[in-house]
């Protein structure tokens, strides 16, 4: 393995060093800085990434940028429905009203802990294990963010092979024009919500040393019974400019939260009272520690190199009763799953601008080395009611004990070719090596109807799967004038299986031991406005193809039990076809362009997705809709501002969709079935006076009773109701 690693890194440097040498010879080159292709919209609208942003290329790709500081939204609870309101095609799971976890999926992909996106903070990984367990239990607080970057499937060449693309949270950068600047945001709200966010940033030593740090404390009782939580989140970022061309960046993030989980409901229980809880012994705890050390060196005016070394040390502890919601909890020993994550990675990127003939071009090349190790143990915990996260038999847990080492080495290259001042072509390649392993044991246990153990068999297991492959993609951008742009791209995608799913014992779900990796591609054809002062539009048609798509089938045990469960397996090929459209009009700018006091804008966001299973002999799923893929997502909103006052109203409607490939409508356990159509409205307002800002938000304005998720395990199993109406008030102070 070390041979493979050293070979890849050596090859990467052999690729980068000649480029650096060439850069030293081009100091006299009069090249473009690509500012001419900046297509950002108005500050209070949805923005897009430039052709070159930092040390990354986005030319010809579908991208969106949420400017968080411009939002009138409930940032204290990370309200994703408001934060992502203008990003077309996103399906959002609302598992808790506090924003402890983010569940976002796009273009018909599952929102489960955002695992179909490559999720990053400031450009480096934050998920549990980018290969073996790509789920995100940590979400950066919205109050700390400058922006959120969303790049669709074409991001597979630069950031990893996921079908969903990239989701990158950019925290406010260190610096400023003062040694110390303070921002404090104190929030109180419904159901015992209290949030305190406090940050410091500044620069000293004539700007050579810059820093930013924050701490957030959040707690509440939850909308449902047995839904209390406590969260602590701290962050520190220091930039040191060693020379005018060389800078050092050191970051640390520490987060922990503990939440009581009220459990899932059946359809009948949800219809009776969605706030009711039938589980008072379920708990969840997360500890997340992230560190990053980065160097950026400007070799010349035309060449930059960036090195990021990052590490994760984290825990995920889930405790409780995993039996279906229609089963009574008799107070037996609880199930305990202990996940430990230790990850280390390094990415090196080099960006070089060069000229051939009369045309200027941009080359990006990079290498990545990553190792992730997950330790997953499942066994029995005590029969109490509190958050007692320990095994009764720690030396020999009752269900499974596995170690999952994962190795990933990659090299990638993309190049923007300026064919003419209006036409660019951006081809790219990514070579990927993946080695996923598993070693440990699981136990097969048989009980009688009284719950007594009849037999127990321990199975030792060792798995190892290695593969190497090459991905290709290309993007085209045509700008006939300064007002609009046509773009198209094609990129291959790949998603490795997660060994960590294979040996979790769950009565509501099973995993096929012969499950295989997924392959496919995504393609976009789009039109978007560029430098229009009052109109911002982006309309995209997309096609996503999967081979051996992993999904969920509804199955049942043999007699006499007949218990239904979800089987996770390679179901069939699938294809997702759709249109994503976003249009925002700044009406006041159009009607009264000289009036700078008043502001009025309206947006419409509509996504149509037809995601179906194809190429299968299984009549139960042929041409059925892919699970977690709403066929219609509609959002609209109105924003008004006058001077220091601003207010916004958002409305979101999501069409009926399903949770398994057979498109079951209703089952006794509540784990499988449809997600009925639902509509939710939010209102927010803010008023600024000198150094103070007062904000008020009302989420789920009309108190709609709905749900977005049916969970097969934690925080269920069963239907997870979304929160009803809530109100919050925030006071912000800037010093």
How many CB atoms sit inside 10 A of residue 386's CB? 10
What does the angle CA 513 – CA 320 – CA 324 come to, to the nearest 5 degrees?
A: 65
Closest CA relative to residue 274, chosen from 324, 329, 225, 320: 225
Residue 22 belongs to what H/E stretch? helix 2-24
Q: How many CB atoms lie within 10 A of CB 327?
A: 14
Q: Which residues contact 551 (CB under 8 A, 6 or more apart)?
A: 568, 569, 571, 574, 613, 626, 627, 660, 661
- The yes-or-no verdict on residue 23 having pLDDT over 60 is no
Per-residue model confidence (pLDDT) at position 491: 96
CA distance 585 to 604: 9
| Whole-number pLDDT of residue 721 | 97
- Of 506, 498, 490, 662, residue with least CA distance to 572: 662
- Report domain extents, the chain: 2-734
Least trusted range by pLDDT, from 25-29, 183-187, 664-668, 694-698 = 25-29
CA pair distance 74, 539, nearest whole angstrom: 28
**Residue 601: which pLDDT band, with cuts at 50, 70 and 90?**
very high
> Residue 131, CB half-sphere, CA atoms under 13 Å: how many?
30
pLDDT at 451: 67
| DSSP E strand boundaries for 484-622 | 484-495, 509-511, 518-529, 535-556, 564-586, 598-614
Task: Determine the Cα–Cα distance for residues 339 and 317; give it in Å rounded to an integer.
Answer: 6
> How open is the CA angle 164-170-171, to the nearest 5 degrees?
145
Dihedral angle, C-alpha 123, 127, 132, 133, nearest 10 °: -150
How does pLDDT run across 223-255, given as a tens digit for each residue? 999 999 999 999 999 999 999 999 999 999 999
pLDDT at residue 222 in the model = 96
CA separation for the pair 434, 436 (Å, rounded): 6
Pick 2-734's CATH classification: 3.40.190.10, 3.40.50.300, 1.10.10.1200, 2.40.170.20: 2.40.170.20
Query: Which are the contacts of 519, defined by CB distance < 8 A and separation ≥ 6?
Result: 492, 493, 494, 546, 547, 548
Nearest to 629 by CA among 76, 7, 105: 105
Angle at 110 between CA 439 and CA 467, to 5 degrees: 40
Whether the per-residue pLDDT at 8 is higher than 60: the answer is: no
Sign for the CA dihedral angle at 63, 67, 72, 77 comes to: positive
Predicted pLDDT at 555: 67
Bond before 717 cis per omega within 30 degrees: yes
**Roughly how many angstroms between the first and final C-alpha of the chain, as a whole number?**
53
**Residue 409 burial by CB count (10 A; 0-12/13-18/19+): exposed, middle or buried?**
buried
Q: What angle do CA 149, 188, 279 make, to 5 degrees?
A: 85
- pLDDT surpasses 80 at 4: no
């Amino acid at each position: 393995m070390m041979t493979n690693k050293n070979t890849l890194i050596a090859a990467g440097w052999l690729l980068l060093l000649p480029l650096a040498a060439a850069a030293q010879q081009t100091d006299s080159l009069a090249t473009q800085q690509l500012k001419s292709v900046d297509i950002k919209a108005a500050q209070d609208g949805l923005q897009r990434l430039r052709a070159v942003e930092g040390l990354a290329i986005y030319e010809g790709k579908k991208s969106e940028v949420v400017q968080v500081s411009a939002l009138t939204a409930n940032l204290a609870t990370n309200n994703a429905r408001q934060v992502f309101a203008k990003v077309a095609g996103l399906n959002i799971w609302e598992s808790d009203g506090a924003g402890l976890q983010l569940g976002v999926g796009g273009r018909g992909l599952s929102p489960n802990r955002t695992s179909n996106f490559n999720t990053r903070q400031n450009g480096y990984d934050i998920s549990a294990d980018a290969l073996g367990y790509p789920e995100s239990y940590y979400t950066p607080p919205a109050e700390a963010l400058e922006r959120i970057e969303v790049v669709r499937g074409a991001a597979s060449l630069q950031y990893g092979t996921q079908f969903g693309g990239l989701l990158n949270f950019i925290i406010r950068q260190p610096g400023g024009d003062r040694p110390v600047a303070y921002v404090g945001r104190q929030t109180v709200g419904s159901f015992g919500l209290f949030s305190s966010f406090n940050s410091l940033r500044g620069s000293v030593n004539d700007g050579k040393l810059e820093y930013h740090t924050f701490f957030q404390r959040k707690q509440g009782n939850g909308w449902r019974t047995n839904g209390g939580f406590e969260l602590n989140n701290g962050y520190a970022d220091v930039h040191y400019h060693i020379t005018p061309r060389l800078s050092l960046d050191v970051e640390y993030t520490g987060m922990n939260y503990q939440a009581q989980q009220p459990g899932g409901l059946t359809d009948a229980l949800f219809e009776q009272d969605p706030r009711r809880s039938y589980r008072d012994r379920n708990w969840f705890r997360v500890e997340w520690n992230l560190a990053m050390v980065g160097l950026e060196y400007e070799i010349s005016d035309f060449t930059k190199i960036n090195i990021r070394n990052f590490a994760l040390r984290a825990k995920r502890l889930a405790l409780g009763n995993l039996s279906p919601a229609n089963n009574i909890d008799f107070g037996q020993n609880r199930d305990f799953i202990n996940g430990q994550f230790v990850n280390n990675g390094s990415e090196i990127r080099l960006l070089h601008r060069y000229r051939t003939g009369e045309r200027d071009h941009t080359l990006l090349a990079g290498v990545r080395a990553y190792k992730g190790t997950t330790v997953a143990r499942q066994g029995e915990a005590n029969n109490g009611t509190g958050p007692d996260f320990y095994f009764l038999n720690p030396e020999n847990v009752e269900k499974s004990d596995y170690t999952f080492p994962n190795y990933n080495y990659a090299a990638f290259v993309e190049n923007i070719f300026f064919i003419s001042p209006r036409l660019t072509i951006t081809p790219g390649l990514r070579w990927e090596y993946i080695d996923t392993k598993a070693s440990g044991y699981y136990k097969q246990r048989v009980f009688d109807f009284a719950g007594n153990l009849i037999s127990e068999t321990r199975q030792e297991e060792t798995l190892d799967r290695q593969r190497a492959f090459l991905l290709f993609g290309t993007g085209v951008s045509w700008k006939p004038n300064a007002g609009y742009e046509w773009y198209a791209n094609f990129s291959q995608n790949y998603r490795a299986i997660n060994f960590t799913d294979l040996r979790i014992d769950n009565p509501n779900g099973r995993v096929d031991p012969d499950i295989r990796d997924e392959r496919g591609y995504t393609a976009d054809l789009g039109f978007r406005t560029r430098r229009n002062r009052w109109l911002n539009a982006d309309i995209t048609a997309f096609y996503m193809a999967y081979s051996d798509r992993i999904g969920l089938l509804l199955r049942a045990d043999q007699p006499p039990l007949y218990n239904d469960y979800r089987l996770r397996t390679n179901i069939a090929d699938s294809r997702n076809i759709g249109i994503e459209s976003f249009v925002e009009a700044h009406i006041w700018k159009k009607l009264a362009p000289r009036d700078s006091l008043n502001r009025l804008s309206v947006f419409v966001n509509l996504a149509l997705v037809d995601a179906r299973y194809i190429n299968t002999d299984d009549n139960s799923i042929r041409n059925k809709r892919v699970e977690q893929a709403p066929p219609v997502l509609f959002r609209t909103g109105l924003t008004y501002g006058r001077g220091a006052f601003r207010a916004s109203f958002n409305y979101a409607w999501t069409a009926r969709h399903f949770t398994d490939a057979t498109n079951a409508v209703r089952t006794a356990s509540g784990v499988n079935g449809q997600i009925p159509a639902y509509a939710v409205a939010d209102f927010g307002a803010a008023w600024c006076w000198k150094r103070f800002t007062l904000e008020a938000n009302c989420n789920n304005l009309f108190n709609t009773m709905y749900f977005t998720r049916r969970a097969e395990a934690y925080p269920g199993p069963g239907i997870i109701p979304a929160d009803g109406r809530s109100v919050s008030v925030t006071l912000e102070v800037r010093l």
